[in-house]
A and B are shown apart, each in its own frame.
Chain A
C-alpha cells in the first residue's frame, strides 16, 4: 500500500478526524450498511425464496413503474426550482432589518410543520374540490373553475402546491446562510457605489452558493423520494398520474406485502438519485466554493 500524506494542521494526528467521526462509523454499520445489505438481499427474493434478479427484470419491463418514474421526474423537475426560488426570495425579505420579522418568520414556517397529515387532506379538499375556495375565487374574478383533483395534470400540480406551501425548511437553511454573510462586504460595496441588485449578484449569491447547492441536493432527494403527499392527497390517482416511485415502493411494501419488489425498486431509485446528484455535483463543481 502506498503511503499517503494527510493534510492536517501541525500537531494534529491523522486519527483525530477518525476519532471525531467515530459515532458515524458505528452509525454507518448499524444504520446504513446493515439495512442496505439486508434490503439488497430481500430484493433478490420473492419474500421467501431466492429469485436472483427476477424482481429487477420485472420492474424494468413493467409499464406502470415506467410511467410512475416519469411522474416522479416531472414532479421533481417542477417542484425543486420553484421551491428554491420561493424560499430564497422569502429568506431575502426576512433577512432585512424590519421590526416584527420574527412573527413573519414563524408564520411562513407553520405550514411546514403540518407535513401531509389528516388535517392537510381536509384542508386541500376545502381548497381544491370543484366548489372549493380556489374555484370560488376564480369564478369571482371571472375565470372558469379548474378541475383540480380529476385532471391528470392539475392533480400533480396541487401536490406540488402543497410542498411549495411548505417551503419553511429550505427557507430556514437559506436564512441561516444569509446571516453568515459579513455585513462589511455590503458596506464596502456601497462605498464603491454598488447598487442593491449588483450587491445581490456579486456578494449574496457567491456567498451562499454552497448552501444553494445543499438545498438543491436535499430538495431533489426529497422530491425523488416523495410518497406521503400523493398518498394522502390524491391516493396516486387519477389514472396513476400522481403515483410517484416513493408511493409505489410504499404500496408494494405495505399494501401489497411484496417486499422483494419494494426493495429492488428502492435500490433502483437509490441508483437514479445517486446518478442525478453526481451529475449535479460535477456540473456545479466550479460554481461551488471548494476550499479544502
Chain B
C-alpha cells in the first residue's frame, strides 16, 4: 500500500516534469498555427518529413557527420576530465605538500569567476598557438583539471572515505596510484560516474566555446549545426523545424543518461534505506 502511494507520487511528479517535453515533441510535428492554438500535445498528424529535412541539413554534411564531430570532442574530453579530476582531487584530499593552500585557493577561486571573461584571453592564446579551428582548445584544457567544480566535488567525496582504507591498502602493498584506482575510486563510483555524465551532457550543449573556436562548417559540433538555420534577421521561419532540431540534439544525451543511471541505481544493495 505504502509502495503504491509512493509510485503514485513519483508518477504524478514525473508527469508534471515531463508534460512540457511531451508537448515539445508533439509540437515538432505541428504547423505554426497549431502550435499556438492547441494545448494538447498530440499533433493532428504525424509528418516525419521535418526530421528528414533536419537530418539532411543544407550543408554538404548530414546531422550524422555533426554527431561524429561532437563525439570526437566529447570522448577525449570526458576521459581527460575524469582522469585529471580524480588525480588532482586525490592529491588534495589525501596528501600534504608545499603550497597546498595556495593551489587549493586557486582551485576554488577558479569557480568564482564568470567563465565568460576567460573566453577572449583563451581565444587569443589558442590563436597565437595556431590551434584555432581544431578540437584542441575544446579538449586539451580537460587534461589539466580545468573544471574546478568537479575536483571540488570529488575532494569532498574522497574525504568521506575513512583513512583506514588507504592504510589497509598500503599494508597490503598497494602503491599510491594502486590505492587510488583499486580501493578509493570504487568507493565513490557514483560520484565519478556523475562527473563523466555531467561532462558529456554539458559538452553536448556547449555553444559559445565551439562557436568561437571552430571556423570550418565541416568541423562543427552538433550544437552549432543545430542552430545553422536560425536567423532572426532574415526571411522564412518554421517553428517546428527549430523544435525538431532541439529534439534531435536531446536524443544522445537522454540515451547516455539512461544508460549511466543504472550505475547509480545498481549500487542500491550497497546502501540506502530499506522499505
Interface residues in chain A, defined as those with a beta carbon under 8 Å from any beta carbon in chain B: 4, 6-9, 11-12, 14-21, 23-28, 30-36, 38-39, 42, 90, 92-93, 95-98, 101-102, 104-115, 117-119, 122-123, 126-127, 133, 136, 165, 169, 172-173, 175-183, 186, 196, 199, 210-211, 213-214, 217-218, 221, 225, 227, 246, 249-250, 253, 259, 262-263, 266, 269-270, 273-274, 277, 289, 291-292
Q: Is B66 part of the binding interface, using a Cβ–Cβ cutoff of 8 Å? A: no
A181 to B109, CA, bound (A): 30
A101 to B258, CA, bound (A): 11
Residues of A within 8 A of B7 (CB): 98
Q: Which of B21, B98, B190, B194 contacts A14 (CB 8 A)?
A: B98
Tell me the interface secondary structure of chain B in the complex.
Answer: helix
Q: Is B181 part of the binding interface, using a Cβ–Cβ cutoff of 8 Å? A: no
Q: Is B24 part of the binding interface, using a Cβ–Cβ cutoff of 8 Å? A: yes
Q: Which residue of B lies closest to A274 (CB)?
A: B112
Given A14-B96, A122-B27, A183-B274, A31 and B114 touching (CB < 8 A)? no
Q: Is there contact, CB below 8 Å, between A102 and B110?
A: no
Given A21-B88, A35-B122, A38-B121, A119 and B242 touching (CB < 8 A)? yes
Closest 3 CB pairs of A and B: A27-B144, A17-B95, A20-B91
Q: Is there contact, CB below 8 Å, between B114 and A179?
A: no
Q: Which residue of B lies closest to A292 (CB)?
A: B159
A115 to B223, CA, bound (A): 12
Q: Is there contact, CB below 8 Å, between B114 and A246?
A: yes
- Please name 10 further chain A to chain B contacts, defined as beta carbons within 8 Å, in addition to the given A110-B257, A291-B159, sorted by A numbering: A34-B121, A38-B120, A108-B17, A111-B21, A169-B198, A172-B264, A173-B194, A180-B187, A196-B273, A262-B116
Q: Is B13 part of the binding interface, using a Cβ–Cβ cutoff of 8 Å? A: yes
Q: Is there contact, CB below 8 Å, between B230 and A98?
A: no
Q: Which of A9, A113, A126, A196 contacts B166 (CB 8 A)?
A: A9
Q: Report B135-187 residues with CB < 8 Å from chain A CB.
A: 141, 143-146, 149, 151-153, 156-157, 159-160, 163, 166-167, 170, 176, 187
Q: Is B31 part of the binding interface, using a Cβ–Cβ cutoff of 8 Å? A: no
Q: Is B201 part of the binding interface, using a Cβ–Cβ cutoff of 8 Å? A: yes
Smallest beta-carbon distance A187→chain B, Å? 8
A169 to B261, CA, bound (A): 12
Q: Is there contact, CB below 8 Å, between A35 and B194?
A: no
Given A101-B265, A102-B265, A175-B190, A96 and B88 touching (CB < 8 A)? no
A123 to B242, CA, bound (A): 12
- The contact string, 1 if C-beta is below 8 Å from chain A, for chain B 98-123, is 11100100111111111111101110
Q: Is there contact, CB below 8 Å, between B205 and A115?
A: yes
Residues of A within 8 A of B88 (CB): 20-21, 23-24
Q: Is there contact, CB below 8 Å, between B17 and A165?
A: yes
Interface residues in chain B, defined as those with a beta carbon under 8 Å from any beta carbon in chain A: 3, 6-7, 9-10, 13-14, 17-18, 20-21, 23-24, 27, 35, 39, 84, 87-88, 90-100, 103, 106-118, 120-122, 125, 141, 143-146, 149, 151-153, 156-157, 159-160, 163, 166-167, 170, 176, 187-188, 190-191, 193-194, 197-198, 201, 204-205, 227, 230, 239, 242-243, 245-247, 249-250, 253-254, 257-258, 261-262, 264-265, 267-275
Q: Is there contact, CB below 8 Å, between B242 and A113?
A: no
Q: Which of A17, A112, A119, A172 contacts B100 (CB 8 A)?
A: A17
Q: Is there contact, CB below 8 Å, between A31 and B190?
A: no
A249 to B144, CA, bound (A): 27
Smallest beta-carbon distance B228→chain A, Å? 12
Given A98-B275, A109-B261, A221 and B112 touching (CB < 8 A)? yes
Q: Which of A16, A25, A39, A173 contacts B103 (CB 8 A)?
A: A25
Residues of A within 8 A of B24 (CB): 119, 122-123
Q: Is there contact, CB below 8 Å, between A21 and B117?
A: no
Residues of B within 8 A of A28 (CB): 103, 106-107, 110, 144
Q: Which of A108, A118, A273 contacts B14 (CB 8 A)?
A: A108
Residues of B within 8 A of A214 (CB): 152-153, 156
Q: Is there contact, CB below 8 Å, between B274 and A186?
A: yes
Given A110-B257, A246-B114, A12 and B95 touching (CB < 8 A)? yes
Task: Offer 25 A-B interface pairs, CB within 8 angstroms, sorted by A.
Answer: A6-B97, A9-B166, A16-B97, A18-B97, A20-B87, A24-B107, A24-B151, A27-B84, A28-B106, A31-B110, A35-B122, A38-B121, A101-B268, A102-B265, A107-B17, A110-B257, A118-B242, A118-B246, A119-B247, A172-B264, A179-B271, A180-B190, A249-B116, A273-B112, A277-B108
A30 to B194, CA, bound (A): 26
Q: Is there contact, CB below 8 Å, between B109 and A179?
A: no
Q: Is there contact, CB below 8 Å, between A210 and B96?
A: no
Q: Is there contact, CB below 8 Å, between B273 and A186?
A: yes
A46 to B267, CA, bound (A): 55
Which of B93, B115, B118, B249 has the largest count of A CB atoms less than 10 A from its CB?
A: B118
Residues of B within 8 A of A114 (CB): 21, 246, 250
Q: Is there contact, CB below 8 Å, between A270 and B271?
A: no
Residues of A within 8 A of B273 (CB): 92, 95-97, 186, 196, 199
Smallest beta-carbon distance A85→chain B, Å? 14
